[in-house]
Amino acid sequence: MALIGNETFPLSQFWASKSISLIKNNRDIFAKARHREIRKELIAGSSVVKGIRGWLLAAQLINNIKTGEYELTNFARALLNNDPKLEKSASWWAVHLAICFSDRSEPYNQFFCNLDSLSKDWLKWDDLKNRIDLAIEDAAKGSLDSNLQGVKRMFENNHPFAEIGLIETRKNKEEGISIRLGSPKLTDEIIIHALAMVRFHKYKSTPTVDFSELIKGGLGHFLCCTPPELREHLRRMKQSNKWQNYFNFNEQENLNSVSFEALCTPEKTLLLLLQEGRDTWL
Protein backbone atom coordinates (compact mmCIF):
# COMPACT_ATOMS: atom_id res chain seq x y z
CA MET A 1 0.00 0.00 0.00
CA ALA A 2 1.11 3.57 -0.74
CA LEU A 3 1.40 6.10 2.05
CA ILE A 4 -1.13 8.92 2.29
CA GLY A 5 1.39 11.62 1.42
CA ASN A 6 0.01 14.25 3.79
CA GLU A 7 3.28 16.21 4.19
CA THR A 8 2.71 16.26 8.01
CA PHE A 9 -0.48 18.33 7.66
CA PRO A 10 -4.01 17.37 8.79
CA LEU A 11 -7.05 17.95 6.56
CA SER A 12 -9.49 20.66 7.59
CA GLN A 13 -13.16 21.03 6.78
CA PHE A 14 -12.44 24.12 4.69
CA TRP A 15 -9.60 22.57 2.68
CA ALA A 16 -11.59 19.42 1.92
CA SER A 17 -14.83 21.14 0.88
CA LYS A 18 -13.05 23.90 -1.06
CA SER A 19 -10.87 21.42 -2.95
CA ILE A 20 -13.84 19.27 -3.93
CA SER A 21 -15.73 22.28 -5.30
CA LEU A 22 -12.63 23.46 -7.20
CA ILE A 23 -11.93 20.09 -8.83
CA LYS A 24 -15.56 19.77 -9.89
CA ASN A 25 -15.03 22.53 -12.47
CA ASN A 26 -11.23 22.51 -12.83
CA ARG A 27 -9.70 19.09 -13.27
CA ASP A 28 -6.23 20.60 -13.67
CA ILE A 29 -6.39 22.84 -10.58
CA PHE A 30 -3.56 20.81 -9.00
CA ALA A 31 -1.38 21.11 -12.12
CA LYS A 32 2.01 22.82 -11.80
CA ALA A 33 0.90 25.62 -14.12
CA ARG A 34 -1.94 26.53 -11.72
CA HIS A 35 0.00 26.09 -8.52
CA ARG A 36 -0.11 29.76 -7.61
CA GLU A 37 -3.88 29.83 -8.17
CA ILE A 38 -4.69 26.87 -5.93
CA ARG A 39 -2.40 28.18 -3.19
CA LYS A 40 -4.44 31.39 -3.26
CA GLU A 41 -7.78 29.52 -3.29
CA LEU A 42 -6.83 27.27 -0.38
CA ILE A 43 -4.85 29.94 1.47
CA ALA A 44 -2.04 27.41 1.84
CA GLY A 45 1.65 26.96 1.08
CA SER A 46 3.13 24.50 -1.40
CA SER A 47 3.69 21.68 1.10
CA VAL A 48 0.18 22.07 2.51
CA VAL A 49 -1.33 21.87 -0.99
CA LYS A 50 0.55 18.59 -1.56
CA GLY A 51 -0.74 17.33 1.78
CA ILE A 52 -4.33 18.24 0.92
CA ARG A 53 -4.05 16.38 -2.39
CA GLY A 54 -2.65 13.35 -0.55
CA TRP A 55 -5.60 13.28 1.86
CA LEU A 56 -8.12 13.65 -1.00
CA LEU A 57 -6.59 10.68 -2.83
CA ALA A 58 -6.40 8.60 0.35
CA ALA A 59 -10.06 9.38 1.14
CA GLN A 60 -11.10 8.20 -2.33
CA LEU A 61 -12.55 11.64 -3.08
CA ILE A 62 -10.54 12.18 -6.26
CA ASN A 63 -8.92 10.02 -8.93
CA ASN A 64 -5.76 10.87 -10.84
CA ILE A 65 -6.67 10.84 -14.56
CA LYS A 66 -3.28 11.86 -15.90
CA THR A 67 -0.38 14.03 -14.77
CA GLY A 68 -1.81 17.10 -13.09
CA GLU A 69 -5.45 16.20 -13.71
CA TYR A 70 -7.97 14.78 -11.23
CA GLU A 71 -11.67 14.01 -11.26
CA LEU A 72 -14.19 13.67 -8.46
CA THR A 73 -15.29 10.18 -7.46
CA ASN A 74 -18.93 9.24 -6.96
CA PHE A 75 -18.23 9.53 -3.22
CA ALA A 76 -17.15 13.17 -3.59
CA ARG A 77 -20.19 13.94 -5.75
CA ALA A 78 -22.47 12.44 -3.11
CA LEU A 79 -20.88 14.75 -0.53
CA LEU A 80 -21.36 17.74 -2.83
CA ASN A 81 -25.03 16.90 -3.28
CA ASN A 82 -25.76 16.24 0.39
CA ASP A 83 -23.26 18.24 2.44
CA PRO A 84 -21.16 20.58 0.25
CA LYS A 85 -19.59 22.36 3.23
CA LEU A 86 -18.87 19.06 5.01
CA GLU A 87 -20.65 20.21 8.15
CA LYS A 88 -22.23 16.86 9.04
CA SER A 89 -20.53 14.35 11.29
CA ALA A 90 -21.82 11.64 8.93
CA SER A 91 -19.68 13.07 6.12
CA TRP A 92 -16.56 12.71 8.22
CA TRP A 93 -17.47 9.18 9.27
CA ALA A 94 -17.70 8.40 5.55
CA VAL A 95 -14.29 10.01 4.94
CA HIS A 96 -12.78 8.07 7.86
CA LEU A 97 -14.06 4.72 6.55
CA ALA A 98 -12.97 5.57 3.00
CA ILE A 99 -9.41 6.12 4.22
CA CYS A 100 -9.45 2.91 6.28
CA PHE A 101 -10.20 0.87 3.15
CA SER A 102 -8.12 2.92 0.71
CA ASP A 103 -5.10 1.72 -1.27
CA ARG A 104 -3.35 4.74 0.26
CA SER A 105 -4.49 4.06 3.81
CA GLU A 106 -1.11 3.76 5.53
CA PRO A 107 -0.19 4.70 8.18
CA TYR A 108 -3.80 5.71 8.98
CA ASN A 109 -4.96 2.09 8.89
CA GLN A 110 -2.17 0.88 11.17
CA PHE A 111 -2.73 3.82 13.54
CA PHE A 112 -6.09 2.24 14.47
CA CYS A 113 -5.14 -1.43 14.16
CA ASN A 114 -2.22 -1.10 16.57
CA LEU A 115 -4.33 0.38 19.37
CA ASP A 116 -6.16 -1.93 21.77
CA SER A 117 -9.86 -2.26 20.92
CA LEU A 118 -10.83 -4.43 23.91
CA SER A 119 -9.66 -2.61 27.02
CA LYS A 120 -8.74 0.62 25.20
CA ASP A 121 -5.61 1.03 27.30
CA TRP A 122 -3.42 4.08 26.77
CA LEU A 123 -0.34 3.52 24.60
CA LYS A 124 2.73 5.76 24.58
CA TRP A 125 3.23 7.59 21.29
CA ASP A 126 6.75 6.20 20.82
CA ASP A 127 5.48 2.65 21.37
CA LEU A 128 2.74 3.16 18.79
CA LYS A 129 5.29 4.53 16.32
CA ASN A 130 7.48 1.46 16.82
CA ARG A 131 4.55 -0.88 16.21
CA ILE A 132 3.65 0.94 13.00
CA ASP A 133 7.29 0.93 11.86
CA LEU A 134 7.30 -2.86 12.18
CA ALA A 135 3.94 -3.23 10.41
CA ILE A 136 5.00 -1.12 7.40
CA GLU A 137 8.49 -2.45 6.81
CA ASP A 138 9.03 -1.24 3.23
CA ALA A 139 8.21 2.43 3.87
CA ALA A 140 11.02 4.98 3.97
CA LYS A 141 11.60 6.08 7.56
CA GLY A 142 11.38 9.81 6.86
CA SER A 143 8.22 9.52 4.77
CA LEU A 144 6.52 7.30 7.34
CA ASP A 145 7.32 9.69 10.18
CA SER A 146 6.04 12.62 8.13
CA ASN A 147 2.78 10.88 7.27
CA LEU A 148 2.30 9.68 10.83
CA GLN A 149 2.60 13.21 12.18
CA GLY A 150 -0.15 14.33 9.80
CA VAL A 151 -2.38 11.46 10.89
CA LYS A 152 -1.87 12.19 14.60
CA ARG A 153 -2.76 15.85 14.09
CA MET A 154 -6.11 14.84 12.56
CA PHE A 155 -7.23 13.78 16.05
CA GLU A 156 -6.13 16.91 17.87
CA ASN A 157 -7.69 20.30 18.58
CA ASN A 158 -10.80 21.05 16.49
CA HIS A 159 -10.19 18.83 13.49
CA PRO A 160 -13.26 16.81 12.37
CA PHE A 161 -11.91 13.39 13.39
CA ALA A 162 -11.20 14.76 16.87
CA GLU A 163 -14.70 16.21 17.01
CA ILE A 164 -16.34 12.81 16.41
CA GLY A 165 -14.13 11.19 19.05
CA LEU A 166 -12.21 8.59 17.05
CA ILE A 167 -8.96 8.92 19.00
CA GLU A 168 -8.13 10.27 22.45
CA THR A 169 -4.76 11.78 23.32
CA ARG A 170 -3.23 12.99 26.56
CA LYS A 171 0.10 14.49 27.55
CA ASN A 172 1.97 14.56 30.84
CA LYS A 173 5.53 15.25 31.90
CA GLU A 174 6.35 11.69 32.92
CA GLU A 175 5.04 9.71 29.93
CA GLY A 176 4.79 12.34 27.23
CA ILE A 177 2.04 11.78 24.66
CA SER A 178 -0.24 8.74 25.05
CA ILE A 179 -3.00 7.62 22.70
CA ARG A 180 -5.96 5.26 22.74
CA LEU A 181 -9.07 4.50 20.70
CA GLY A 182 -11.93 6.86 21.50
CA SER A 183 -15.56 6.09 22.30
CA PRO A 184 -17.50 7.81 19.51
CA LYS A 185 -21.26 7.72 19.13
CA LEU A 186 -22.07 4.85 16.77
CA THR A 187 -25.29 4.90 14.75
CA ASP A 188 -26.77 2.03 12.77
CA GLU A 189 -26.09 3.96 9.56
CA ILE A 190 -22.37 4.17 10.39
CA ILE A 191 -22.19 0.43 11.07
CA ILE A 192 -24.09 -0.54 7.93
CA HIS A 193 -21.84 1.67 5.78
CA ALA A 194 -18.78 0.11 7.38
CA LEU A 195 -20.13 -3.36 6.48
CA ALA A 196 -20.71 -2.24 2.89
CA MET A 197 -17.17 -0.87 2.67
CA VAL A 198 -15.75 -4.14 4.03
CA ARG A 199 -17.77 -6.10 1.50
CA PHE A 200 -16.77 -3.90 -1.45
CA HIS A 201 -13.07 -3.69 -0.68
CA LYS A 202 -12.37 -7.16 0.76
CA TYR A 203 -15.18 -9.63 0.12
CA LYS A 204 -16.76 -8.84 -3.25
CA SER A 205 -17.13 -12.49 -4.19
CA THR A 206 -17.76 -13.82 -0.68
CA PRO A 207 -21.42 -13.73 0.39
CA THR A 208 -20.76 -14.79 4.00
CA VAL A 209 -17.81 -13.89 6.23
CA ASP A 210 -16.93 -15.15 9.71
CA PHE A 211 -17.30 -12.48 12.37
CA SER A 212 -13.78 -13.32 13.54
CA GLU A 213 -12.43 -12.44 10.08
CA LEU A 214 -14.10 -9.04 10.21
CA ILE A 215 -12.46 -8.41 13.57
CA LYS A 216 -9.04 -9.53 12.31
CA GLY A 217 -9.48 -7.16 9.36
CA GLY A 218 -9.82 -4.22 11.72
CA LEU A 219 -13.55 -3.49 11.58
CA GLY A 220 -13.85 -3.11 15.35
CA HIS A 221 -10.80 -0.86 15.44
CA PHE A 222 -12.15 1.37 12.67
CA LEU A 223 -15.46 1.73 14.51
CA CYS A 224 -13.64 2.14 17.85
CA CYS A 225 -15.72 -0.53 19.54
CA THR A 226 -14.88 -3.84 21.19
CA PRO A 227 -15.73 -7.13 19.47
CA PRO A 228 -18.48 -7.88 22.04
CA GLU A 229 -19.98 -4.42 21.47
CA LEU A 230 -19.93 -4.88 17.69
CA ARG A 231 -21.52 -8.32 18.05
CA GLU A 232 -24.32 -6.82 20.14
CA HIS A 233 -24.89 -4.06 17.59
CA LEU A 234 -25.21 -6.60 14.77
CA ARG A 235 -27.45 -8.84 16.86
CA ARG A 236 -29.77 -5.90 17.62
CA MET A 237 -29.79 -4.58 14.04
CA LYS A 238 -30.60 -8.03 12.71
CA GLN A 239 -33.99 -7.79 14.42
CA SER A 240 -34.90 -4.59 12.56
CA ASN A 241 -36.85 -4.81 9.31
CA LYS A 242 -34.88 -1.80 8.07
CA TRP A 243 -31.65 -3.80 7.73
CA GLN A 244 -32.92 -7.18 6.55
CA ASN A 245 -32.06 -6.42 2.92
CA TYR A 246 -28.57 -5.26 3.88
CA PHE A 247 -27.13 -8.05 6.02
CA ASN A 248 -27.90 -11.00 8.25
CA PHE A 249 -26.05 -11.91 11.42
CA ASN A 250 -25.84 -15.68 11.74
CA GLU A 251 -25.30 -17.15 15.19
CA GLN A 252 -24.24 -20.73 15.75
CA GLU A 253 -22.41 -22.39 18.60
CA ASN A 254 -18.87 -20.97 18.72
CA LEU A 255 -19.28 -19.41 15.26
CA ASN A 256 -20.85 -16.12 14.20
CA SER A 257 -20.92 -14.85 10.64
CA VAL A 258 -22.27 -11.99 8.55
CA SER A 259 -24.11 -12.56 5.28
CA PHE A 260 -24.22 -9.62 2.88
CA GLU A 261 -27.54 -8.92 1.19
CA ALA A 262 -28.38 -7.07 -2.04
CA LEU A 263 -28.58 -3.53 -0.66
CA CYS A 264 -25.27 -3.72 1.20
CA THR A 265 -23.29 -1.62 -1.29
CA PRO A 266 -21.36 1.60 -0.54
CA GLU A 267 -23.44 3.64 -2.98
CA LYS A 268 -26.67 2.82 -1.14
CA THR A 269 -25.33 2.84 2.42
CA LEU A 270 -23.48 6.13 1.85
CA LEU A 271 -26.72 7.92 0.99
CA LEU A 272 -28.36 6.41 4.06
CA LEU A 273 -25.51 7.66 6.21
CA LEU A 274 -25.49 11.16 4.71
CA GLN A 275 -29.26 11.61 4.64
CA GLU A 276 -30.48 9.70 7.67
CA GLY A 277 -27.46 9.43 9.98
CA ARG A 278 -27.90 11.25 13.29
CA ASP A 279 -25.43 13.89 14.44
CA THR A 280 -22.55 12.34 16.37
CA TRP A 281 -20.40 15.40 17.07
CA LEU A 282 -19.10 15.28 20.63
Give the pLDDT mean for 72-83: 98
185 versus 140: which is more confidently predicted?
A: 185
CATH of domain 108-181: 1.10.10
pLDDT band at 106; cut points 50, 70, 90: very high
What percent of the chain clears pLDDT 70, i.e. is strictly above it?
A: 100
pLDDT in tens, 10-36: 999 999 999 999 999 999 999 999 999
Secondary structure, 3-state, the chain: CCECCCCCCCCCHHHHHHHHHHHHHCCCCCCHHHHHHHHHHHCCCHHHHHHHHHHHHHCCCEEEEECCEEEECHHHHHHHHHCCCCCCHHHHHHHHHHHHCCCCCECHHHHHHCCCCCCCCCEEHHHHHHHHHHHCCCCCHHHHHHHHHHHHHCCCCCCHHHHCCCEEEEEECCCEEEEEECCCCCCHHHHHHHHHHHHHHHCCCCCEEEHHHHHHCCHHHHHCCCHHHHHHHHHHHHCCHHHCCCEEEEEECCEEEEEECCCCCHHHHHHHHHHHCCCCCC
Give the model's pLDDT for residue 142: 82
186-214 residue pLDDT tens: 999 999 999 999 999 999 999 999 999 99
- Span 143-151, mean pLDDT? 95
What fold characterizes domain 188-276?
Answer: Arc Repressor Mutant, subunit A (1.10.10)
What pLDDT was estimated at residue 174? Answer: 85
Domains of the chain, residue spans:
13-100, 108-181, 188-276
Peptide bond into 107 cis (omega under 30): yes
Q: Is the pLDDT of residue 112 over 80?
A: yes
What is the per-residue pLDDT for 2? 85
Q: What is the pLDDT of residues 215-229, one digit of tens each?
A: 999 999 999 999 999
Checking if the pLDDT of 139 tops 80, the result is no
Query: Looking at the domain that runs over 13-100, which CATH code has it been given?
Result: 1.10.10
| Amino acid 1: pLDDT | 63
Q: Answer yes or no: is pLDDT of 160 > 90.
A: yes
pLDDT band at 46 (very low <50, low <70, confident <90, very high): very high
